[in-house]
Structure 1
Amino acid sequence: MSHPDAHVSALDPFTWQSTLDSNLDRKGLLLRLFAEQRFMAAQVRTCKLDHRDYLLSLIDPASTVNDGTRHSSSVDGHRMRSVITEAAKKAHWGKPPRHGRAQGIAAHYDAQTCMAVVLDIEVSDEGRLIIHDAVVVADLGFLKNPGRVRSQLEGACLIGIAFVTSCDFEPTLGDTRPKPANRTRWPLVSWLPGQIAVHLINPTGAPEAGQPSQTSYAPVARALCNAILKATGNGSVRSQSLERSGAN
């Protein structure tokens, strides 16, 4: 197929442009994530693909620098396909949707981490978020201590969920700074994930081991925004309420 995205835009869904301590505050980054996922949903409809297949279709454009030379970028297409495909398989991607319930998917690549995440979530009519399951698949090469890495990725999963669900802001007020990070109440999150399943794969048999990057929470935050928009109809009152309140 002729894909509409050039190299730079194809890379965007796999990379993290900003971190929590950057100049872009968490409110702005969260609103950008929702806007990004809304754009992705429009692209999915245009290309007549489901979200998993759309991500897979981005890999070749993201793997080749579009400067006329057709030389490869740093993105490893084989590894990216492997983690996306395996995450979708482990999460039983494509479950028939029902009212307020949906799956979200996202993938992430940087120099240390290649991973994909699928979340199964539900949003009630009142806007209460329930996260049923999280599936994380990561390719970090050969690991001598996989148990420790699984624990790190479970922690990254919780950080990604907290990023979306614990940001307080009120758009009608002048002070839009997030509340202190030590806040403990999660009023619109009924449950933390019922299960976090972490799968470590090494399809290329790479002997060198990597470590999860500091931005391993990125695909979790993206997958959660993706799932919320799907569960709420991409712009319903429930979705807008979650966005305006930072899921608070």
Structure 2
Amino acid sequence: MSHPDAHVSALEQFTWQSTLDSNLDRKGLLLRLFAEQRFMAAQVRACKLDHKDYLLSLIDPASTTNDDTRHSSSVDSHRMRSVITEAARKAHWGTLPRHGRAQGIAAHYDAQTCMAVVLDIEVSDEGRLIIHDAVVVADLGFVANPGRVRSQLEGACLMGIAFVTSSDFDPTTKDARAKPAYRTRWPLLSWLPGQIAVHLINPTGDCEAGQPSQTSYAPVARALCNAILKATGNESVRIQSLERSSAS
């Protein structure tokens, strides 16, 4: 099958240019994420694939493309397929959705980290967000202290969720407002996942372990945006502000 994304944009789905503590245009990054996931949904429909299979179909173009720096991509296709497939399996990907409930998926690659994330979320008609489960699968090679690495990836999961939920936004009308500085950037406990499951794999038997990268939160943010748009059917929905949520 000739994939419609056999160009540089295929690589963009697995890489991340910005850092969470770079507040130059955090609102713009969030809006870009939603626009990216809308485009991804349109491509999924055009390819007649689900989101997991769409990501898998991007791997070969991403592993051979040029990233605008005249350097060949370093995406490891085997490791990427492994983490995406395992994350989908662990999260029971493809469970029939109910009204307002959906799964989101994303994957990430850099020099140290290869990982995939699946989130199971629900958005009520009033715009209340519930994150039921998060599944993270990472390939870092051989890990001498897996407990410590799992803790780091659990933290990255919370950072990715906070990145999305600590702004008031409307993903359809492109209305996003950063919360006032006196409010915490962290979401309420009701927005945190009911469960975070972190799985470490090493399909290639690599003996060199890398630490989770500083951008390990990126696939979590992408998966959450992906799930929100699927749960709402791309309709206008505003995640409740902290005041409204804390009063409920």
Separation in 2, partners of 1:139, 1:27: 31
Tell me the SS of whatever aligns to 1:158. helix
Question: Which runs of 5 or more residues in structure 1 are unaligned?
Answer: none
Letter in 1 for 2:102: A
- Asked whether the 8 Å contact 1:169–1:244 carries over to 2, the reply is no
- The one-character-per-residue Cα deviations of 1:28-53 (angstroms, maximum 9, x if unpaired) are 10010000000000000000000000
Separation in 2, partners of 1:176, 1:104: 23
Separation in 1, partners of 2:41, 2:29: 18
- Asked whether the 8 Å contact 1:116–1:136 carries over to 2, the reply is yes
Separation in 2, partners of 1:111, 1:122: 33
The count of residues paired between Structure 1 and Structure 2 equals 236
Aligned position for 1:237: 236
Q: CA RMSD in A?
A: 2.6
Separation in 1, partners of 2:207, 2:152: 20
Shift of the 123–176 alpha-carbon distance from structure 1 to 2, 3 Å rule, reads closer
- Asked whether the 8 Å contact 1:105–1:119 carries over to 2, the reply is yes
The normalised TM-score by structure 2 is 0.87
- Asked whether the 8 Å contact 1:169–1:178 carries over to 2, the reply is no
Letter in 2 for 1:204: T
Once the two structures are superposed, the pairs formed by residues 39-58 of structure 1 within 5 Å of their partners are: 39-58=39-58
Aligned position for 2:31: 31
Aligned position for 1:99: 99
Letter in 2 for 1:65: T
Once the two structures are superposed, the pairs formed by residues 1-248 of structure 1 within 5 Å of their partners are: 1-22=1-22, 24-65=24-65, 73-168=73-168, 178-180=179-181, 183=184, 186=187, 190-234=190-234, 236-238=235-237, 241-242=238-239
Shift of 1:191: 3.9
Shift of 1:244: 11
Letter in 1 for 2:202: N
Which has the larger displacement, 19-28 or 101-110?
19-28
Separation in 2, partners of 1:122, 1:183: 23
Percent pairwise identity = 83
Tell me the SS of whatever aligns to 1:59. helix
Letter in 2 for 1:148: R
Question: Which runs of 5 or more residues in structure 2 are unaligned?
Answer: 171-175
